[in-house]
Structure 1
Amino acid sequence: MKKIAASAYYISARGLFLLFFFGTALASAAADAPLAGAQLSGRGTLRFLGLEVYQATLWVRPGFAPTHWAQHALALELRYARGFSAEAIAQRSIEEMQRQQPVPAAQAARWQAELAALLPDVAAGDRLVGVYAPGEGARFVYNDKALESIDDPLFARLFFGIWLSPQSSEPTLRAALLAAP
């Protein structure tokens, strides 16, 4: 009888441990989401000439529809594998945004200057998160420190379209990010 009771205790203790372990892991994943109520959609790695540039992670809320991504709040996290200047990131961002639709030169220059002033230079291991608010704009977080926002709906849609638009220059990364919903 003692052996059965001991086994029941072992199973209960093991069950509690597993419940605690997996519960903590799930809570941790939810806590890592940079957007309230968001869940992981997908992950991918951007490589250039075989070298890793960054790992991207997309966070979305329930009900997210990839074909209508621009209508949903979302967060995109980039973990850099190498360093880049803010100016280089801003310049490349504007070039990629213009793949989706033409942007007047004066507007592109204004956005590039604003983005370069807002973003820091990044080093390997740094984390940059953009949070998209449809119809409002974008806010940014660098290594858990809130940066300024760009309150321009067109800028925000084109900026996040770099990764999520069908015109993305990286269709494989886009597919990886939109994998889960």
Structure 2
Amino acid sequence: MPKLYVYLIFIFSLQNFILGQAIAKPLNTLDNIIQEQSYIPIGETTFSILFWDLYKSKLLTTTGTYPIQTDRDKLLYQINYLTGISSKDLVNRTVEQWQHLGVEPELYAVYLPILLKIWPDIEEGDSLSLYVNNNKSVFYFNNNLIGEINQPEFSQLFLDIWLSEKTSEPKLRLELLGIKNDK
């Protein structure tokens, strides 16, 4: 009899482990994030300089609206690159955009070493995504988790590059926000 009990306990434990693995969805891939809850597309756009398309981007939220309540709503901003850019150049372009917005350097300087560490060199076809949840900013590269920034103000600072009324690309802003531009 004792062997039967050991065998049954083993089978029961194995079954619970397998079932637990199937139910638990780790948030280390963007696909798992997207499957966890439905996201409503707000808008999408293509960023071009002259006749070169550099990237396509898409804004989605769980509410279908922007701005969101970062403590309860979720947001996904996806960038699909149509050309390559080094990590250093990507951070430099980010700084240039914050400067264009008039953001004081002391507000973004703390994030620069973090971004340099987590953002990889980008090649054509790569994607970089920002997932905002519970006041956290989580970055995914080609759908895999690469790092996060836990300061609540970072997500808005980063998204303002595209979504602020002061953005350097107002047409892209309108397209990302799903606003028709009659001009």
Q: Give TM-score scaled by structure 1 length.
A: 0.71
1:119 is aligned to 2:135: no
Distance, in Å, in 2 between the alignment partners of 1:70 and 1:166 is 19
Q: How does 1:37-48 map to 2 (within 5 A)?
A: 37-48=38-49
What is the Cα deviation at residue 86 of structure 1?
Answer: 0.8
Match of 1:164?
163
Cα gap change, 1:114 to 1:92, in 2 (>3 Å): same
Q: How does 1:1-181 map to 2 (within 5 A)?
A: 33=34, 36-62=37-63, 64=65, 66=66, 68-69=67-68, 71=70, 72-105=73-106, 107-133=107-133, 136-179=135-178
Q: Decide whether the 8 Å contact of 2:42 with 2:64 is kept in 1.
A: no
Cα gap change, 1:168 to 1:86, in 2 (>3 Å): same
**Aligned AA (2:44):** R
Cα gap change, 1:103 to 1:34, in 2 (>3 Å): farther
Distance, in Å, in 1 between the alignment partners of 2:86 and 2:130 is 17
Q: Provide structure 2 residue ranges, at least 5 long, that are not aligned to the other structure.
A: 1-30
Distance, in Å, in 1 between the alignment partners of 2:146 and 2:109 is 20
Q: Give TM-score scaled by structure 2 length.
A: 0.70
Cα gap change, 1:129 to 1:156, in 2 (>3 Å): same
Once the two structures are superposed, what CA deviation does each residue of 1:45-91 show, in whole Å capped at 9, x if it has no partner?
00112211100011112252x3x357553111101010001111111
Q: Give the match's secondary structure for 2:100.
A: coil
Once the two structures are superposed, what CA deviation does each residue of 1:127-148 show, in whole Å capped at 9, x if it has no partner?
11111236x2310111111111
Q: Decide whether the 8 Å contact of 2:59 with 2:176 is kept in 1.
A: yes
What is the Cα deviation at residue 125 of structure 1?
Answer: 0.5
What is the Cα deviation at residue 154 of structure 1?
Answer: 2.0
Distance, in Å, in 2 between the alignment partners of 1:127 and 1:81 is 9
Aligned residues with identical type, % of pairs: 27
CA RMSD of aligned residues (A): 2.5
Distance, in Å, in 1 between the alignment partners of 2:36 and 2:163 is 17
**Number of aligned positions between the proteins:** 147
